[in-house]
Chain A
Amino acid sequence: GAVVSQHPSWVICKSGTSVKIECRSLDFQATTMFWYRQFPKQSLMLMATSNEGSKATYEQGVEKDKFLINHASLTLSTLTVTSAHPEDSSFYICSARRVFNTEAFFGQGTRLTVV
């Protein structure tokens, strides 16, 4: 099967610090990875789409300087929340698409709490 792994599963950080979340496709190459944010009892909201080797495309309203996305290889994308604030506390989920395939597989999510 296609496995997408996120790390860490949960993280608590202080306001003003930066946090990096990793998303790895363990058994397939993913040319495209997606980053979502999910608030309690709400559906996933797409933050950005990243393609390996190029800059991420951010959705309207998402600050690219605050949510830094890097997709340096076909199996790894990272989301860095810079200068985190309590309102950044949320559930962050990544998904990855196989090359030439419409199926997108989700990671298990990362619960970020900023105190």
Chain B
Amino acid sequence: KNQVEQSPQSLIILEGKNCTLQCNYTVSPFSNLRWYKQDTGRGPVSLTIMTFSENTKSNGRYTATLDADTKQSSLHITASQLSDSASYICVVSPTNTGNQFYFGTGTSLTVIP
């Protein structure tokens, strides 16, 4: 069964600290994996997208890693800011042109001053 699981479910960190969010998937075949940030009451915004051959990709303070062998991905946030408070969603696609997207349940991150 194609699934995407994220951990932790929720996380609270102090402003300025780093954190790492995890995404494990069983989707097969695998084409690409995306991390999205979703602010409360808003639509998701893409942070990174990685294909099978990519191990890491950065977008500012966000760095995503991918291990296609173990089917694991992580999103590392450096020097967190209050504006990083949001839900972070991992999405896996089995094909490059198809319409299938498997969504993780998300990690709710709260950054406190």
Check B97 against A100 for contact (C-beta < 8 Å). yes
Whether B99 sits at the interface, judged by CB under 8 Å, is yes
Q: Which of A44, A103, A109 contacts B103 (CB 8 A)?
A: A44
B interface, over-half SS: loop
- Given that A43-B104, A43-B106, A44-B103 are contacting pairs, would A91 and B41 also be in contact in the complex, using a CB cutoff of 8 Å? yes
A49 touching B46, Cβ below 8 Å: no
- Interface residue count on the B side (C-beta < 8 Å): 21
| Structural contact, B42 and A108, CB atoms closer than 8 A | yes
- Bound together, the chains give a CA A66 to CA B8 distance in angstroms of 36
Please report which residues of chain B, range 37-95, place their CB below 8 angstroms from some CB of chain A when the two chains form the complex.
Answer: 41-46, 49, 89, 93
**Residues of chain A within 8 A of B43, CB atoms compared:** 4, 6, 93, 95, 106-109
**Would you call B2 an interface residue if the criterion is a C-beta within 8 Å of the partner chain's C-beta atoms?**
no
Per-position 1/0 for A1-31, Cβ under 8 A of B: 0001010000000000000000000000000
Q: Are B44 and A44 in contact (CB under 8 A)?
A: yes
Supposing A6-B43, A107-B43 touch, asked if A102 and B108 sit within 8 A by C-beta, the answer is no
Q: A67 within 8 Å of B by Cβ? A: no
Residues of B at the A interface (CB closer than 8 Å) are: 31-32, 36, 41-46, 49, 89, 93, 96-97, 99, 101, 103-106, 108
Q: Which A residues are within 8 Å of any B CB, using their own CB?
A: 4, 6, 32, 34, 41-44, 46, 49, 91, 93, 95, 97, 100, 102-109, 111
